[in-house]
A and B are shown apart, each in its own frame.
Chain A
Amino acid sequence: MALLEVKDLSIHFGGVKAVQNVNFSVDSGIVYSVIGPNGAGKTTLFNLITGVYKPTTGEIRLDGEAVHGKSPNELARRGMARTFQNLQICMNMSAVENVMVGAHLRLDRNLVKAALRFPALRKRDAEMRNEAAGLMRFVGLDKFADARADSMPYGALKRLEIARALAMKPRLIFLDEPAAGLNPKETIEVDHLVRKVADSGVTVVLVEHDMKMVMNLSDRILVLDYGKKLAEGTGEEVRRNPDVIAAYLGAHA
């Protein structure tokens, strides 16, 4: 059974059908990419699956369990993590604290124990701080170990989001344009990072415009256009698909 199954998923904003009857499934352990022209509905699809939007119709199943309509924090409990195209970093916190927030569900969140400084809670928190520092090394942010989030450059913040998502120890991670706005050197580094994440056993769903990166990483690719599924398959299949070529190059079929 597939880890993630999406059936006939649609969302309408007033008269705008941002996502229409999209079907696909993601097997465990692969890198699955979603591509398409700007405005094709890729981020909307991510927002639907991660619970930020509620679908108008359709089903989303995670490990067979129907999860559509569940809130993002309930989905987080089920091992779903994501990053954002437009950064969502907590600028009022340090870099390592941002990563630690990712481990929210893995820590003791009791208010009273925290206020009274229970030793077990402090110890676990100190361990988590080390683990978060380790995750920052993993994504290549060693030199920002003690930085405040609001003092970091854009490219570093993109990776910080990935580190935060990994701190959840997710089964499934959604990366929304991790290379957007990065220079070619940084893009290659992110490419390697996504590969490392996938190799660590996390299933990756990727939205990305950098075609080289997509073709390089993806086991399967979904192509969206105007909110509809245009094609789905391996990189090779998608690349040869005449509809895809038409959508990207604007040729009339």
Chain B
Amino acid sequence: MKNTTKGLVIVAVILAIVPFVSPNSYYTDLAIRMAINATIVLGLNLLIGFAGQISLGHAGFLGIGAYASAVLPTHFGWHPLLAMGAGAAVTAVLAGLVARPIFKLKGHYLAMATLGLGIIINIALRNEAQWTGGPDGMPVPAMSLFGFELSGDKHWYWVVAALLLVSIWASLNLIDSPFGRALRALHGSEVASQVVGVDIVRYKVAIFVLSAVFASLMGSVTAHYIGFVSPNFADFFHSIELVTMVVVGGMASVFGSLVGAVLLTALPQALATFEGWETVVFGAILMGFMIFLPKGIVPTIAARFGKGE
């Protein structure tokens, strides 16, 4: 069996066991949020780790999805699934429109442009109070699938676990395909990928849109699960958290995305005793990784044991 298949099976087994060993709903809730973050980080890692492009505005896309799921069913009576799809579609169009000019930029400029985009979305959500509840946020109607209402940890756990597993499988497939190789090639050498026929701007736009849609869909899921949205969903600090998960787990590593998301979702819980200082500890850990383990956890371990993913 290939290493990646083994990894997929191991994750599936862990996901199947968790609800039975979880002592109470606090831990189930934590597991759900880990799985949601892991799915978003998978998409973001395709952009950052594999294609070598940065986005500091991904929480903005998450916010669009979350608010689509809150606003459209509440104010217009849309079905939650339709609202979720609409959020993803708006995200795709917005990401696609801004991506072309953004990807003419490189390095710091690209980071600044995506940062600005995220902040604009956040401001819009705060200011359109008649629709979004402004800084106070708003409640989100329950999600129902085929007449069956999703409520409580147990339901949501299986939904997000299934989404995560499918996302891992799809990401692994994508990376090992002509599309995925083109993405990695433009990361490795833009000019070399161009001369073999890769339309690099098109590929950058495609992966940016795909990862933004991932974030939007998971934003919708989060909104329904928590039952409430606030502008913090689209906060700049949330974008940074997501990027940190990519870096800590390991750039260009599918399983690294999982490890990063799991660790950094658990971390604020573990740091709760440092009331008010969590952000500082969080920052210190990020700096530590940048200096001592720049490749991230999973790729470093994989290199130590002499085998790739």
A interface vs B, CB < 8 Å?
50-52, 71-73, 75-77, 80-82, 84, 88-93, 97-98, 100-105, 107-111, 114-117, 121, 125, 148, 164-165, 167-168
Interface membership of B10, Cβ < 8 A: no
Could you say which residues of chain B place their CB within 8 Å of the CB of A167?
Answer: 196
Q: What are 20 sample pairs from A and B whose C-beta atoms fall under 8 A apart?
A: A50-B195, A52-B191, A72-B194, A73-B194, A75-B195, A81-B196, A89-B192, A92-B187, A97-B181, A100-B178, A101-B196, A104-B181, A104-B196, A108-B178, A111-B206, A114-B179, A115-B171, A117-B173, A148-B308, A168-B197
CB <8 Å contact, A88 and B189: yes
Least Cβ–Cβ distance between A167 and chain B, in angstroms: 8
Residue in A77, A101, A102 with the greatest tally of chain B CB atoms within 10 Å: A101
CB <8 Å contact, B195 and A107: no
- The chain B residue sitting closest to A170, CB to CB, is B196
B142-163 interface bits toward A, Cβ cutoff 8 Å, 1 = contact, 0 = none: 0000000000000000000000
Known: A52-B195, A76-B195, A97-B184. 19 other contacts (CB 8 A): A50-B195, A51-B194, A76-B194, A76-B196, A77-B197, A81-B196, A84-B192, A90-B192, A92-B187, A92-B188, A93-B188, A101-B196, A104-B185, A104-B193, A109-B179, A114-B178, A115-B174, A125-B178, A148-B308
Cα distance, A115 to B185, chains bound together (Å):
18
Least Cβ–Cβ distance between A108 and chain B, in angstroms: 6
Interface size on B, residues (CB 8 A): 31
Least Cβ–Cβ distance between A135 and chain B, in angstroms: 13
B interface vs A, CB < 8 Å?
169-171, 173-174, 176-182, 184-185, 187-189, 191-200, 206, 210, 252, 308
CB <8 Å contact, A101 and B182: yes
Least Cβ–Cβ distance between B169 and chain A, in angstroms: 8
Could you say which residues of chain A place their CB within 8 Å of the CB of B187?
Answer: 90, 92
CB <8 Å contact, A82 and B173: no
Question: Which 4 A-B pairs have CB atoms at the shortest separation, nearest pair first?
Answer: A90-B188, A114-B177, A76-B197, A88-B192
CB <8 Å contact, A90 and B184: yes
Could you say which residues of chain B place their CB within 8 Å of the CB of A81?
Answer: 195-196
- The chain B residue sitting closest to A113, CB to CB, is B177
CB <8 Å contact, B194 and A71: yes
Least Cβ–Cβ distance between B162 and chain A, in angstroms: 16
CB <8 Å contact, B173 and A104: no
Could you say which residues of chain B place their CB within 8 Å of the CB of A125?
Answer: 176-178
Residue in A51, A93, A105, A165 with the greatest tally of chain B CB atoms within 10 Å: A93
Cα distance, A101 to B171, chains bound together (Å):
18
Least Cβ–Cβ distance between B256 and chain A, in angstroms: 14
- The chain B residue sitting closest to A77, CB to CB, is B197
Cα distance, A165 to B196, chains bound together (Å):
7
Least Cβ–Cβ distance between A113 and chain B, in angstroms: 8
Cα distance, A116 to B179, chains bound together (Å):
12
CB <8 Å contact, A90 and B189: yes
Cα distance, A114 to B207, chains bound together (Å):
13
CB <8 Å contact, A115 and B188: no
Could you say which residues of chain B place their CB within 8 Å of the CB of A89?
Answer: 188-189, 192
CB <8 Å contact, A105 and B189: no
- The chain B residue sitting closest to A108, CB to CB, is B178
Could you say which residues of chain A place their CB within 8 Å of the CB of B179?
Answer: 109-111, 114
Residue in A103, A104, A108 with the greatest tally of chain B CB atoms within 10 Å: A104
Cα distance, A76 to B182, chains bound together (Å):
14
Cα distance, A91 to B185, chains bound together (Å):
9
Cα distance, A80 to B196, chains bound together (Å):
8
Could you say which residues of chain A place their CB within 8 Å of the CB of B188?
Answer: 89-93
CB <8 Å contact, A116 and B173: yes
Could you say which residues of chain B place their CB within 8 Å of the CB of A109?
Answer: 178-179, 182
CB <8 Å contact, A115 and B178: no
CB <8 Å contact, A102 and B196: yes
Least Cβ–Cβ distance between A227 and chain B, in angstroms: 22
